[in-house]
Amino acid sequence: MSDSGTPRKTYQQLRSYQWYGVQNLRAFGHRSRTKQMGFSSEDFKGKPVIAILNTWSDMNSCHSHFPQRVEEVKRGIWQAGGFPVELPAMSLGEPFVKPTTMIYRNLLAMEAEELLRSHPVDGVVLMGGCDKTTPALLMAATSMNIPAIYFPAGPMLRGNWRGKTLGSGSDVWKYWAEKRAGNLSELAWVELEDGIARSPGTCMTMGTAATMMSVAETLGFVLPGGSSIPAVDSSHARLASASGRRIVEMVWEDLKPSDILSREAFENAIMVDLALSGSTNAIIHLIAMARRAGIPLSNEDFDAIAQRIPVLGNIRPAGKYLMEDFYYAGGLNGLLARLRGELHLDCPTVNGKTLGENLAGAEVYDDDVIRPLDNPVWAQGGLAVLRGNLAPRGAVIKPAAAEPQLLKHTGPAVVFKNYKDMSTRIDDPELPVTADSVLVLQNAGPIGAPGMPEWGQLPIPKKLLEQGVRDMLRISDARMSGTSYGACVLHVAPESGIGGPLALVRDGDLISLDVSERLLHLHVDDAELQRRRADWVAPKPHYPRGFGRLSAEHISQADEGCDFDFLERGTEAVADPEIF
């Protein structure tokens, strides 16, 4: 029993005991090979084995500080009486991986789950942060269901250029538009490139990385306040060691993901995502994560909660500030304290306390960065789920990131059959487009692209940029970077690549968007749509072999989380294979 009265595991009940503790030939080999690496019996005998899943690589700038942080995690594990083992996992650096990291989220989830299952591991510290690493690692931990704590990479420092504060992604799109419009010199563009990313860490805007790190903490997987700490702050190093110490205690307590995850925990996560005006990518990831836990979650859950949760985080791209400012203003705990009346406060977390207990004493130190409820950035509707004959299974838009006049709009379609077609023609002076047009990108979904890349923020045609246009209605079955903005309708389901209605749109078709009515409608009668459907030809598969083929055969649609059908709850493997 612990001091709190919680039953504690014995050494003989640990998974690793079957590798190290028993007296047989196999265990002899495990012990001798561990000693081969310079460890002694005192290092691992009678101790829980703690895996550190490290998603570092030289092609992941967000995680470039992880070689130091992993040593600090190990320090905490040693201090608490555990035996740390580092297991490298697929890195998924968002800026570098083609065609998109999204196609590999499920591969990392599979790899992480099998790393844990196949090794003598009693608990795990999950090191992630760059966009897809967070959901992938948490999906794996949920399916494996051994004690797990998440250590977030943390955001990078603010960017700087000519006295202006820069935010990753958001200001890239902003100034790229100005350069294409002829308003920014090549010298200024190079200076921007030099000044926008100044330290290790994830995007410092409320992109997918910051959103998912905040979601991970809200779900209960991060030590309180950990998700907001900048990557280079000394508090981040201390968080690493604290996470290492805590996971050892979690193993003895047998505190597992199934003890933490609940319908209420996911509702808390949705509320935080909305209050931060977080990335629309969080919808897909949270649905996938919930389904791993056997908890039904849908687009409609997000839309319903959005009706009552205001946007309080004044953070780019929907607001003014950056993650460093958010941390100094009180961080996630400050935001959670503002939402206290809406949250399920009795949800357990990795430190053994409830979410409500962790908020004791939480304050906000800047009311403009983390707004009070009576002065929100956006009163409601940080997210809207749309339906109609163009998106029978739903589509999403972030109203706070769009120009208000476009939230109810009807215009003629300008259709691009794929990304190459769009990039080839978007700046053609002869493109028949006006500010009222609706740009439509087809074949950008989970199968059609492949991998559902972040192509949803279609560029404004150059000739319109030169006329001063900075936003227009854009529709696709793609995703959009959480750092992006604009009147972009995303995640149209079912996707065009499998014959969804988006595949049937033609140039000149009128399309109506009405966010207040949650409507996305194609003004083409059913008979004509049936004729077009009969003529539709499925695109050729992108991958004849390998993981790409596996993905195309098993990935679900956006409204189902884009997980593989054989990885969802009900198909999990046994945690302890009988191989001894």
In whole angstroms, give the CA distance from residue 297 to residue 448: 24
pLDDT surpasses 80 at 236: yes
pLDDT value of position 572: 47
Query: How far apart, in whole angstroms, are the C-alpha atoms of residue 27 and residue 17?
Result: 9
For the chain, give the percent of residues with pLDDT over 90: 93
Helix (H) or strand (E) holding 421: helix 419-425
Instruction: Say how far apart CA 13 and CA 180 lie, in whole Å.
Output: 63
pLDDT at 7: 74
Give the pLDDT confidence score for residue 579 in this predicted structure.
Answer: 47
- In CATH, what is the architecture of 384-535? 3-Layer(bba) Sandwich (3.50)
Chain centroid to Cα 417, Å, comes to: 27
Note the pLDDT of residue 576.
57
% pLDDT > 70, the chain: 97
Nearest to 307 by CA among 379, 376, 380: 380
**pLDDT tens digits for 352-404?**
999 999 999 999 999 999 999 999 999 876 799 999 999 999 999 999 889 99
pLDDT at 97 > cutoff 60? yes
pLDDT number for residue 580: 44
Alpha-carbon distance of 59 to 208, in angstroms, equals: 18
pLDDT of residue 105: 98
Q: So what's the pLDDT on residue 484?
A: 84
pTM, two decimal places: 0.95
More confident residue, 12 or 485: 12
**For position 190, what pLDDT does the model report?**
96
- Say how many C-beta atoms besides its own lie within 10 A of residue 491's C-beta: 31
CB 566 within 8 A of CB 292: no
- What residue spans define the domains of the chain? 11-157+199-358, 167-194, 384-535
Q: Which residue has the tokens 């410092």?
A: 204
Residue 68's identity, in one-letter code, is Q
Q: What does the pLDDT read at residue 574?
A: 47
pLDDT in tens, 328-352: 999 999 999 999 999 999 999 999 9
**Phi, psi dihedral angles at 78 (to 5 degrees):** -60, -45
> What pLDDT does residue 5 have?
58
Nearest to 132 by CA among 158, 110, 157, 159: 110
Per-residue pLDDT of 108-126, as tens digits, reads 999 999 999 999 999 999 9
- How many angstroms separate the first and last alpha carbons of the chain? 30
C-alpha span between 174 and 272 (Å, rounded): 26
Average pLDDT, the chain: 95
Mean pLDDT of 544-571: 93
Query: pLDDT tens for residues 187-201?
Result: 999 999 999 999 999
573, pLDDT greater than 60:
no
Q: What is the pLDDT of residue 173?
A: 85
d(CA 518, CA 386): 4
The predicted-structure confidence for 508-541, as pLDDT tens digits, reads as follows: 999 999 999 999 999 999 999 999 999 999 999 9
